[in-house]
Structure 1
Amino acid sequence: MMSLTSSRYGMRCASNGAEALACVKEHVPDLVITDWMMPLMGGAELCRRMRAQPDLARVPILVHASAPLPVNEGNAWNACLQKPVPMQLFLTTVGRLCTGHG
């Protein structure tokens, strides 16, 4: 995450999916980056719950995970990067999603 702060992105961190959902409800972000496997609520459920809420449904979601991912049914997320990913690709993807071209 140091790469994001050094690239001048502001960010908030959550330790699990439930905390992340509470965070995004409190302050709607420009982008959510989530792992797939997390305690309390995984990335799939976080994506589904965000898409089900009108005020969060349009927030771009980047899944950044090492676990094999299922097919993106219903466009639950905007982009997926499999770990490890080259930092330049990660930052380019973040930039593209933050500017609405995801």
Structure 2
Amino acid sequence: MDDEPEILAAWRLILENEGYQVSCASNGAEALACVVAHVPDLIITDWMMPIMDGAELCRRLRSMPLSVNVPILVHTAVPPSERDAHYWNACLLKPIGADRFLTTIAKLCTPRC
């Protein structure tokens, strides 16, 4: 999820072309509702979002039994605090190339996705 529609659309297209099934959300609250409706194999989130930011989303996801073991990739321009690092599995700083992004996703998905 990302609050920038252009970034969301671009990554969605790239991931779908790689064979991944993708659901998108424009903020953390919307993403949380999506996860409750259908638990994904991987969650990719921005850190800075309206309504519910990535930090709160990650905290809530880790507190819910249905999503506690789902890998989380933070994709952000603003580095999150290291004290919150236990809430996610990987963090990539924007801008990031597609190769590194896809390699990180593949590592996080194996063998789940």
**Which residue identity lines up with residue 62 of structure 1 in the other structure?**
L
After TM superposition, give the deviation of residue 86 of structure 1 in Å: 1.5
Structure 1 outlier segments of 4+, above 6 Å: none
Letter in 2 for 1:48: R
- Determine whether 1:95 maps to 2:106: yes
Distance 1:74 1:30 in 2: 20
Q: Superposed, which structure 2 residues align to 1:1-80 within 5 Å?
A: 1=11, 2-73=13-84, 75-80=86-91
Mapped to 2, the partners of 1:92 and 1:4 lie a distance apart of 11
Query: Aligned equivalents of 1:48 and 1:82: distance in 2?
Result: 20
Q: Classify 1:67/1:73 alpha carbon distance in 2 versus 1 (closer, same or farther; 3 Å).
A: closer
Normalised to the residue count of structure 2, the TM-score between the two structures is 0.85
Report the number of matched residues: 101
Show structure 2 runs of 5+ residues with no match. Answer: 1-10
The TM-score with structure 1 as length reference comes to: 0.93
C-alpha change, 1:74 and 1:81, in structure 2 (3 Å) is closer
Please tell me the residue identity of whatever aligns with 1:7: E
